[in-house]
Amino acid sequence: MKQNIRPSRLFTGFVKITGVPFTALFFKAKIIYEDKSAFKKAYRKPFILVSNHMSLLDFPLYMTIFFSRNIRFLMAEVLFSKNKLFSWFLYKLGGIYVDRNKYNTAFVGESLETLDKGQSIGVFPQGRVRYNNIHFPFKPGTAYIAMHTNAPIIPVYTDGNYGLTKRVTVVIGKELYISDYIDETQTKDEQLKTLTELIEKRVMELEKNTRENKEEKINN
């Protein structure tokens, strides 16, 4: 059950700084931008980071890559049920509680409030970590939040290649504004479905392009 624990920027900053040696050694992230200049402009404003989900390490990875921004991530209820200390830790880092087993949209209001305050949010719309190379479809929560804010969506893809002898690749796509894609001739449910598919397509395009580039390098 959600607790009334306020997130702390000071605490988050401390965790980021003390985690730098570990992340530098373990991630060694290779970052690729679709349009770096456009990203820098979008980065100055509150945004919605949307990513595929390869591992629980995706969260600390993005805390490292987007070091200077305070991003509050939507997190599944199962993470908060581990133990009280870990739950407290996640809340202090700004975790936004999402109960996937109940029809509870409190996370939407908290996400919109966060964006209104000038902070950013991070979402893994698949709702779970990928396993056995199964692709889980995106859930509509991200599109619903985006429909009620002017914040841009920044699509991100990671290949999840974590390990001491490995190097993870992260592709940051060009931002998109949901308002540019809303079709007023559609019902709200149709709009939500269309926009969810759009967001999923953008992230999956980053994955496809990354795989094709890797294959091309191998063949050459």
Tell me the per-residue pLDDT of 198-216, one tens digit each, with 9 for 90 and over. Answer: 999 999 999 887 776 665 5
Q: Give domain status of residue 2, yes or no.
A: no
> Which burial class, exposed, middle or buried, applies to 32 when counting CB atoms under 10 A from its CB (0-12, 13-18, 19+)?
middle
Containing structural domain, residue 103: 9-219
**3-state secondary structure at position 202:** helix
Q: Give domain status of residue 208, yes or no.
A: yes
**3-state secondary structure at position 81:** coil
The pTM of the full predicted model, rounded to 2 decimals, is 0.91
Low-confidence ranges of the chain (pLDDT < 50): 218-220
Q: Residue 31 is inside which H or E element, if any?
A: strand 30-33
- How many Cα atoms sit within 13 Å of 77 on the Cβ side? 11
Q: Give domain status of residue 1, yes or no.
A: no
Buried b (16+ CB within 10 A) or exposed e, 124-147: bbbbebeeeeeeeebbbbbbbbbb
- For position 220, what pLDDT does the model report? 42
- For position 128, what pLDDT does the model report? 86
Q: Give domain status of residue 4, yes or no.
A: no
Q: Give domain status of residue 157, yes or no.
A: yes
Q: Residue 38 is inside which H or E element, if any?
A: helix 36-43
Residue type present at position 203: V
The total domain count for the chain is: 1
- For position 92, what pLDDT does the model report? 95
Q: Give domain status of residue 3, yes or no.
A: no
Which residue's structure tokens are 């290949």? Answer: 159
- For position 146, what pLDDT does the model report? 96
CATH code (residue 83): 3.40.1130.10
pLDDT digits (tens, 9 = 90+) for 29-48: 999 999 999 898 888 899 99
